[in-house]
Structure 1
Amino acid sequence: MNTKDHELMGRMKISKAVATMAIPSVISSLVTVVYNMADTFFVGQTGDPLQVAAVSLTNPIFILFMAFANMFGMGGSAVASIALGGQDQKRMRQVSAFITYASLAVGILFAGALLGFMQPILTVFGANKETYAFAKGYVFHISYGAPFIIWSASASFVVRAEGASREAMIGSMIGTIANIVLDPVLISGFHLGAAGAAVATTLGNILASIYYLWYFIKKSSNFSISLKYFTCRDGIFSGICSCGLPTAIFSTLMSVSTIVLNQILVAYGNAPVAAIGIVFKANMFITFLQMGLANGVQPLLGYNFGSGDRERFQKIAAYTRKCCVIIGVLATLLFFVFRRPIIGLFIQDEEVIYYGVKMLIAYMLSGPVIGILFMNMNCMQSVGKAFWATLLSVLRQGLLLIPLLFILNALGGLNGVIYGQALTDYIAVFLSAVLWRKCKTYNSARKS
């Protein structure tokens, strides 16, 4: 690690260090938002609510891809950051090699499962006779892109761990720009519809993967994807998977809860299903702004914990939480004011817009505070308390949300079920504050 990196991680003014690391991460997150919005947006321009509903129904598959990408990426970033703080270059190379080959292996398994069991999977996801053909076309083309989707996403986290936020941002932008350019060409130009969106997504991730391959081979002095560094021993497998497990469980349970929600909504028709798909993508802007900020400072947290500078660790965490709240409030207000135009951007169908506006208001309620949850979870992971962060993930997307969806549906029908996520978020934020306070107390007691 060079002197410049030491200055950034360990000595630079807190606000400047956070800005240096977080701004590229936030941009990358917004690029991810645009990337995820692109498919729904361009499919929506066909004016066909059924195709929009089909893309919404298949969203859990992409979320599952991200579950493993986040586990390898966030876990690898945490382990690599600590190794960077301890100047252990061999361990950093083992991390990059592990996340590369583990991502490819999991992606191939996903592709095989989706191609072999497509019909029962889509039936479980809520596809009906009106949406099945569109959903099948999308899933077919997204399935063979699984290895590239998972690896390019996980690689972006690990690249950021050595302070290369700009390079990580470039990789994300390559995939996103390619997807945005290809979407209208394939969806409308070649009349592929929803299937064209999947082809564009796969091609975009292949290009991003090529960039990260170049970065690891030619650019990075700390990382390597050589097979000689691949190992599951020496705490590499357990360290990466345990640190990244909270985020992976969060994404997996998000997929499950999305399936449950789609199953509930499809009883009210295809329009609410199409609307919730648009709302998920639109609300990502508020969520990912804060998630990008929290993820951006993770290498700073890991480095300072690894180097033993607990005071700087706490100052970075406190400053970033304040930034998350400010950004969350401003973004939520913006979305509330322009709620109808935002939904109308995706599709000009009055029934879908009607449901979409109601749902967006409900989902925005937790926007001002959700960043606190992400920060507290990242802090726990950075100090090796992955179990507590995992517990929060399980509660937020599983043990709390799924039962609440059924309860609120029984009590208030469609008007009740749409508030399940916001209610769950507030409970999770409160619990995260309690658990992180206990975690700080425990670490202080050990230090003394």
Structure 2
Amino acid sequence: MNNKSAALGTEPIGSLLIKQAVPASIGILVMSLNILVDTIFVGNWIGSIAIAAINVVLPVSFFIAALGMAIGIGGSSIISRSLGANNKERALKTFGNQITLTLLLSTAMVVLGLVYINELIPAFGGKGEIFEPAKIYYRIVLYGVPLLALCMMGNNVIRAEGKPKFAMIAMIIPSVGNLILDYILINLLDMGMAGAAWATTISYGLCFGYVLYFFLSNKSELKISWPHFGLDLPILKEMSALGFVTLSRQAVVSVTYLLMNNILFNLGGVSAVAAYGIIGRMLMFALFPVLGVTQGFLPIAGYNYGAHKFPRVRESINKAILYAGGLGLLIFAVIMIFPEAIVSVFTSDPDILSETPHYMRWVFAATPVIAIQLIGSAYFQAIGKAVPALLLTLTRQGFFFIPLIFILPHYFGELGVWISFPAADILSTIVTGYFLNREIRKTIKD
């Protein structure tokens, strides 16, 4: 048996966190670079309208893919704790249930998404000249989303086994594939929006092929059989409760895109939506090391909590916040110094170039403190406490950001939308820090 998961409970936390976080960061970096370069290709080869069109479609495809991510993270928390407690049968049953649930839910959502295509696109801001290119992109990408959901689920399980390098490769393959296909289908074959969409969908298939290979080979210690695919109610309830945290976060992200696209379209037209498309891509890209530390932290905290090694749990929290906070400070400095150069890579449109750098500075203004919010909410998810994990996950965008984007524009116009980003970051960090500290004092005894 390839039992590397035991290392999560024995190796020094600092080196273990680096081993887990670096591959996760590289995977997120490549995936983010894929989104970033994809946006650059689309903006330069098709036009700024195409950037806005893709930005409109993202909430729908992200939400369906988030089903797989939610099931993956929720189930992986059970798997990590089960492996830590040496209960392998429960880990196997959980994995089988993850596969079954991901297939059922993602397929159903795709069918609904295609049936209501003409209603969903305008609802998410695909109005006027944005509608037709968004519809082309949306229909093709949706076909591949079930494969993406399975990839997102499988990737988290791979990481829960303590094999972050394989999880990294699973993220790199579709990203590199998408960029190569972008060049071929958009630039060489001049397929426009359809080319961009097919490049994305085919890349999902490449990712799925690799994840399937990992679990069918001897690289995984989770060797499931047909009985494991049968749905188990207690496991489903725990997995759903924990996965609902991730799904809620992604649902709020989708709602945020919907609201932002509509609010910005009303305040600044197509150029404002395109500006958000650029800034949104930078948020995905620039925060890759912070998100990598968060992903690396999850299996370490979950395994050691399941093994009742509480001093190691406390140490993992402290070091994860320290590492992620330092990286956040570095990202903050780069964005504050070079916003004009960053925006100019995406477009030469003078309307977008004139305002977007200023807005980007506002969006990233509170980056140095977000580590506390990310690690804090992830900790509750890792140890299986679904309710506080859910509430803390929703604090930033659900409880603070969405109300702020309705309130602040009344006083500051379009600028109020961008000011809402750092305001929500600071408020959610204060709340999360308080509850994380209380939980540590109450339950983790050295």
Q: TM-score range by the shorter chain?
A: over 0.9
Confirm whether residue 201 of structure 1 aligns to residue 200 of structure 2. yes
Which position in structure 2 is the counterpart of 1:244? Answer: 243
**Contact 2:4/2:161 (<8 A) preserved:** no
Separation of aligned partners in 2, 1:178 and 1:205:
9
Higher alpha-carbon deviation: 370-379 or 311-320: 370-379
Which position in structure 2 is the counterpart of 1:161? Answer: 160
Which position in structure 1 is the counterpart of 2:77? Answer: 78
Deviation digits for residues 379-437 of structure 1, max 9, x if unmatched? Answer: 11122222112112223222321111010111111011111122111111111111112
Deviation digits for residues 136-169 of structure 1, max 9, x if unmatched? Answer: 0010111111101111112111101111111111
Summarize the alignment of residues 340-419 of structure 1 with structure 2, pairs less than 5 Å apart.
340-419=340-419
Which position in structure 1 is the counterpart of 2:291? Answer: 291
Summarize the alignment of residues 39-58 of structure 1 with structure 2, pairs less than 5 Å apart.
39-46=38-45, 48-58=47-57
Higher alpha-carbon deviation: 71-80 or 228-237: 228-237
Summarize the alignment of residues 87-166 of structure 1 with structure 2, pairs less than 5 Å apart.
87-166=86-165
Higher alpha-carbon deviation: 314-323 or 83-92: 83-92
Which position in structure 2 is the counterpart of 1:424? Answer: 424
Identity among equivalent pairs (%): 28
Amino acid at match of 2:201: T
Give the drift of 1:3: 7.1
Aligned residues: 445
**Contact 1:110/1:146 (<8 A) preserved:** no
Separation of aligned partners in 2, 1:328 and 1:259:
27
Higher alpha-carbon deviation: 353-362 or 198-207: 353-362
Summarize the alignment of residues 288-367 of structure 1 with structure 2, pairs less than 5 Å apart.
288-367=288-367
Separation of aligned partners in 1, 2:103 and 2:199:
20
**Contact 2:2/2:221 (<8 A) preserved:** no
Amino acid at match of 1:107: S
Higher alpha-carbon deviation: 127-136 or 242-251: 242-251
Q: Normalising by the residue count of structure 1, what TM-score does the alignment of the two structures yield?
A: 0.95
**Contact 2:61/2:142 (<8 A) preserved:** no
**Contact 2:65/2:106 (<8 A) preserved:** no
Pick closer, same or farther for the CA change 1:3–1:438 going to 2, 3 Å: same
Separation of aligned partners in 2, 1:159 and 1:25:
11
**Contact 1:89/1:222 (<8 A) preserved:** no
**Contact 2:106/2:149 (<8 A) preserved:** yes
Which position in structure 2 is the counterpart of 1:253? Answer: 252
**Contact 2:78/2:384 (<8 A) preserved:** no
**Contact 2:126/2:134 (<8 A) preserved:** yes
SS in structure 1 at match of 2:367: coil
Give the drift of 1:41: 1.8
Give the drift of 1:72: 1.0
**Contact 2:302/2:383 (<8 A) preserved:** yes
Deviation digits for residues 334-386 of structure 1, max 9, x if unmatched? Answer: 12222111111111211122232122111111211212211111111122222
Higher alpha-carbon deviation: 212-221 or 50-59: 212-221
Summarize the alignment of residues 177-192 of structure 1 with structure 2, pairs less than 5 Å apart.
177-192=176-191
**Contact 2:52/2:270 (<8 A) preserved:** yes
Separation of aligned partners in 2, 1:142 and 1:70:
17
Give the drift of 1:286: 3.0
Higher alpha-carbon deviation: 255-264 or 236-245: 236-245
Higher alpha-carbon deviation: 427-436 or 104-113: 104-113
**Contact 2:241/2:386 (<8 A) preserved:** yes
**Contact 1:76/1:240 (<8 A) preserved:** yes
**Contact 2:30/2:172 (<8 A) preserved:** yes
Separation of aligned partners in 1, 2:224 and 2:351:
50
Give the drift of 1:4: 5.3
Which position in structure 1 is the counterpart of 2:228? Answer: 229
Pick closer, same or farther for the CA change 1:301–1:43 going to 2, 3 Å: same
Summarize the alignment of residues 25-44 of structure 1 with structure 2, pairs less than 5 Å apart.
25-44=24-43
Question: Gaps spanning 5+ residues in structure 1: where?
Answer: none
**Contact 2:65/2:145 (<8 A) preserved:** no
Amino acid at match of 2:428: A
**Contact 1:286/1:367 (<8 A) preserved:** no
Give the drift of 1:10: 1.6
Give the drift of 1:66: 3.8
Amino acid at match of 1:112: V
Question: Gaps spanning 5+ residues in structure 2: where?
Answer: none
**Contact 1:364/1:422 (<8 A) preserved:** yes
Pick closer, same or farther for the CA change 1:133–1:305 going to 2, 3 Å: same
Separation of aligned partners in 1, 2:329 and 2:97:
39
**Contact 1:107/1:147 (<8 A) preserved:** yes
Deviation digits for residues 209-249 of structure 1, max 9, x if unmatched? Answer: 01111111113442245432123325321222222222221
**Contact 1:253/1:398 (<8 A) preserved:** yes
Give the drift of 1:47: 5.6
Give the drift of 1:311: 0.6
**Contact 1:96/1:224 (<8 A) preserved:** no
Separation of aligned partners in 2, 1:27 and 1:179:
17
